[in-house]
Amino acid sequence: MNSELDAAAKLRSRTGATDKGDPLSINRAPDKRIAPWVSRSMVAYAYQKGAETLEGALCNDAPYIRSAVGVDWTATTRDGDLAIRDETFLCGQHSTIMPLKYSGGIKVAGLMLRPGALRALFGVNDGNMLDRIVSIERGGVDDDEVTSLFDESLAPTAWLLRIENWLADFVKRTGVAEPDPIAQALELQAFVDPNGSLSKFAERQNVSLRTIERTAKRDFGLPPNQIMRRARILDLAAKLCGVADQEDEEITLRFFDQAHQIREFQIFFGMTPLEFQRNRSAILTLSLEIRQARRLELLDWIEPGAIRPWMRKPLLAARAQLNQTVN
Give the per-residue pLDDT at 168.
Answer: 99
Mean local confidence (pLDDT), 77-91: 98
pLDDT at 323 over 60: no
Give the per-residue pLDDT at 302.
Answer: 84
Mean local confidence (pLDDT), 65-71: 97
Could you tell me what percent of the chain has a pLDDT over 90?
79
Window from 131-140, 206-215, 302-311 with minimum mean pLDDT = 302-311
**Partners of 47 in beta bridges:** 12
**Partners of 44 in beta bridges:** 108
pLDDT band, residue 307 (cuts 50/70/90): confident
Give the per-residue pLDDT at 324.
Answer: 46
Give the per-residue pLDDT at 304.
Answer: 85
**Partners of 48 in beta bridges:** 11
Could you tell me what percent of the chain has a pLDDT over 70?
93
Phi, psi of 81, deg, nearest 5? -70, 135
Give the per-residue pLDDT at 300.
Answer: 87
Phi, psi of 192, deg, nearest 5? -75, -50
Number of neighbours of residue 159 by Cβ within 10 angstroms: 20
Largest CA distance in the chain: 56
Give the per-residue pLDDT at 28.
Answer: 97
Number of neighbours of residue 166 by Cβ within 10 angstroms: 19
pLDDT at 311 over 90: no
Give the per-residue pLDDT at 315.
Answer: 43
Mean local confidence (pLDDT), 34-51: 96
pLDDT at 123 over 90: yes
Between the alpha carbon of residue 16 and those of residues 23, 192, 300, 319, the distances in Å are 6, 27, 23, 8
pLDDT at 4 over 60: no
Q: In the 3-class helix/strand/coil scheme, how is 141-155 assigned residue by residue?
A: CCHHHHHCCCCCCCC
pLDDT in tens, 173-225: 999 999 999 999 999 999 999 999 999 999 999 999 999 999 999 999 999 99
**In a 3-state reduction of DSSP, which class is residue 29?**
coil
Give the per-residue pLDDT at 27.
Answer: 97
One DSSP character per residue, 113-167 reads EPTTHHHHHH---TGGGTT-EEEGGGGT--HHHHHTT--TTS-HHHHHHHHHHHH
Question: Could you give the CA distance from residue 160 to residue 62 in angstroms, rounded to a whole number?
Answer: 18
Give the per-residue pLDDT at 317.
Answer: 44
Domains of the chain by residue range: 7-326
| Average pLDDT along the chain | 91
pLDDT in tens, 92-110: 999 999 999 999 999 999 9
Phi, psi of 162, deg, nearest 5? -60, -40
